[in-house]
Amino acid sequence: MPSRSIPSVEQAYELFSEDPWRPLSEWAKEWDCSHERVRQLREQAGFDPISSIDRNIARTVIDRVRNGEYALTVRELYEDLPIGLEKFLTWMKEDPAIYLGILEAQQWVEKQSWSPETKQCKKCGEVLKAESFGKTQKYKDGLQKICKLCVSNPSKKLVEIQEKQKKLQQLKNKLDN
Q: Give the nearer residue to Zn ion in terms of CB position, either 83 or 121.
A: 121
* Residue 38 makes contact with Zn ion by CB under 5 A: no
Q: In whole angstroms, what is the distance from residue 165 CA to residue 159 CA?
A: 10
* C-beta of residue 45 within 8 angstroms of C-beta of residue 9: yes
**Between 39 and 123, CB nearer to Zn ion:** 123
One-letter identity of residue 170: Q
How many residues in the shown chain lie near Zn ion by CB under 5 A?
A: 5
Q: How far is the CB of 129 from Zn ion (least distance, A)?
A: 12
Binding mask 109-138 for Zn ion (x = CB under 5 A): ------------x-xx--------------
- Please check whether residue 27 is in contact with residue 39, taking contact to mean a CB–CB distance below 8 angstroms: no
How buried is 50 (Cβ within 10 angstroms: 0-12 exposed, 13-18 middle, 19+ buried)?
middle
Q: How far is the CB of 166 from Zn ion (least distance, A)?
A: 24
Q: Show contacts with Zn ion in window 4-23 (CB under 5 A).
A: none
**54 Cβ neighbours under 8 A, 6+ residues apart:** 82, 83
Task: List interacting residues with Zn ion (CB under 5 A).
Answer: 121, 123-124, 147, 150
